[in-house]
Amino acid sequence: MLDKRLSYLSFTTMLNSEPSRRQFLAFLAASPLLAAAGFDADALTHAAHATTRNSDHALRLAQRIVEHGASADGVIQSAKEALSVFDFEPVAKQNIPVSHWGYLATGTDDDGTIQANREGFDRWALHPRRLIDVSKVDASVSLYGTRYPTPIVINPVGSQKAFHPLGEIAVARAAKARDHLQVLSTVATTSIEDAIAARGGPVWFQLYHQSDWAITRQIVQRAERAGAPAVVFTVDLIGGSNRETMMREARRDTRTCTNCHLGGAPLPGISGRVDDRDNRRKPNLVGYPHVTPIPEVGTPSWEFIDRLKSATRMKVLIKGIVTREDAELAVAHGVDGLFVSNHGGRAENSMRATIASLPEVLQGVAGKIPVICDGGFRRGTDIFKAMALGATAVGIGRPYIWGLGAFGQEGVETVLALLRKEFEVVMKQSGVTSIAGITRNHIVAR
């Protein structure tokens, strides 16, 4: 077992040279305890002979192993044992088929932007205040007239039945139990109607456009009829993405899954065509009447936003905006809100954290519309920093899916509860009792 007493200083000193780091990565990869703790030995083996940049990425994983100890005893057996959202990750990895795990874990290229999202929070330190009465804290936020007790939004993640048999239904029930805003993916394995029924209230609908506007319009109108108050158009994947980790993990999965996947290869989330054969587990993409096609000419531009707004009475938000220029254009086109997002590091490999993009997007909107930030949120301190910079709310993805894959609805509820508890502790330590009280003065640049 690795010695938990190994300090960060000795760790970095030991790995100061390239030969030493390669040797240490090879040592870690050979440890039989890695799998029990939920770490990927194959990734470390690859990194031991990879480029310096990939090696550095794996070293951050190695540091985490050293800090927490690669011991099977550290894997929780029930949701109530979890001390942080990270405790759910190794359990979920044990439970989820390898190709499905690859779909969840992947970024793009070498996954560098996933790590950049996490490291972005390190640019800011807290600036606590003392001797303020914080016995009562109100962490609620209002979005388009609906008040939620927390700014934590359950972001859209596709194919959730790849992680648990109940998928989005379990998540919707957890959202109901904890009263969170939930956003359902176009490529969910649950229909918008069933998600709203399980949530017992409105669920926002995330939109991927189709190559035929006539079909896209029907999808949007269906979501509106079901009771969704908002549609969230995702724009950061229009150019595609190079998901190497997903493809590598899929090669390790030898199952034949013809019941779910055309051709049998277990690759969740790769379809998206409106085809009853390809989308047997994508109910939001099937069942539409055949109408005269209206093929898209090229990929969507700002004209598409105008068309989308004219096709629905729902609030229209854009997900994937990361620059001031695009934020200004969104406001000019009458968009009702933005998600500052790089798809959790799954879109472009920009190596730029969303928390770093947030300030300039806020400059672009100039307070005219809500701005939700997602990407790498794992701690209450992360949430607080985004709110201090001016975010209206924050979105989470992988953490609640870890909870789902580990313990189903109970796991999701516990992830939400832990993040809310951590966030409210930070509010109290910072001397604020409401969201409105969180300002830029509560954080400082490191």
> What are the 10-residue block averages of pLDDT along the chain, 446 residues in total?
42 54 63 52 56 52 51 80 97 95 94 96 97 98 98 97 97 98 97 98 97 97 98 94 89 84 79 73 93 95 98 98 98 98 94 98 98 98 98 98 98 98 98 98 96
Residues 323 and 203 in one domain: yes
Residues 127 and 236 in one domain: yes
Q: Which position has the token pair 């994983």? A: 61
Residues 203 and 315 in one domain: yes
Range of the domain at 234: 123-240+296-445
Residues 313 and 434 in one domain: yes
Point out which residues pair with 338 in neighbouring strands.
318, 371
Residues 317 and 391 in one domain: yes
Q: Torsions phi, psi of 53, nearest 5?
A: -65, -45
Q: To the nearest 10°, report the CA torsion of 331, 343, 395, 328.
A: -10
How far apart (Å, rounded) are the C-alpha atoms in residues 331 and 328?
Answer: 5
* 3-class SS string, 403-443: HHHHHHHHHHHHHHHHHHHHHHHHHHHCCCCEHHHCCHHHE
Tell me if 107 is assigned to some domain: no
Tell me if 99 is assigned to some domain: no
Q: What is the pLDDT of residue 3?
A: 44
Q: Is 372 helix (H, G, I), strand (E, B) or coil?
A: strand
Environment class of 143 (CB within 10 Å of its CB; exposed 0-12, middle 13-18, buried 19+): buried
Residues 67 and 132 in one domain: no
Domain boundary at 16, 41, 74, which? 74
Residues 48 and 161 in one domain: no
Q: What is the pLDDT of residue 69?
A: 46
Tell me if 250 is assigned to some domain: no
Residues taking part in catalysis: 343
Q: Torsions phi, psi of 138, nearest 5?
A: -115, 105
Tell me if 179 is assigned to some domain: yes
Residues 159 and 302 in one domain: yes
Residues 218 and 70 in one domain: no
Tell me if 118 is assigned to some domain: no
Domain boundary at 74, 92, 113, which? 74
Tell me if 86 is assigned to some domain: no
Residues 305 and 420 in one domain: yes
Point out which residues pair with 115 in neighbouring strands.
none
Residue 219: how many CB atoms within 10 A of its CB?
21
**DSSP 8-class letter at 124:** E
- The CATH number for 333's domain is 3.20.20.70
Domain boundary at 74, 105, 138, which? 74
How far apart (Å, rounded) are the C-alpha atoms in residues 314 and 242?
Answer: 32
How far apart (Å, rounded) are the C-alpha atoms in residues 158 and 362?
Answer: 28
Tell me if 284 is assigned to some domain: no
Token pair, residue 430, equals 């910072």
For the chain, the straight-line distance linking the first and the last C-alpha, in angstroms and rounded, comes to: 34
Tell me if 109 is assigned to some domain: no
Pairing between β-strand 141-143 and β-strand 443-445 as defined by DSSP bridges: unpaired
Nearest to 388, CA basis, from 121, 35, 187: 121
Residues 14 and 141 in one domain: no
Provide the number of structural domains found in the chain: 2
Residues 138 and 5 in one domain: no
Q: What is the pLDDT of residue 339?
A: 98
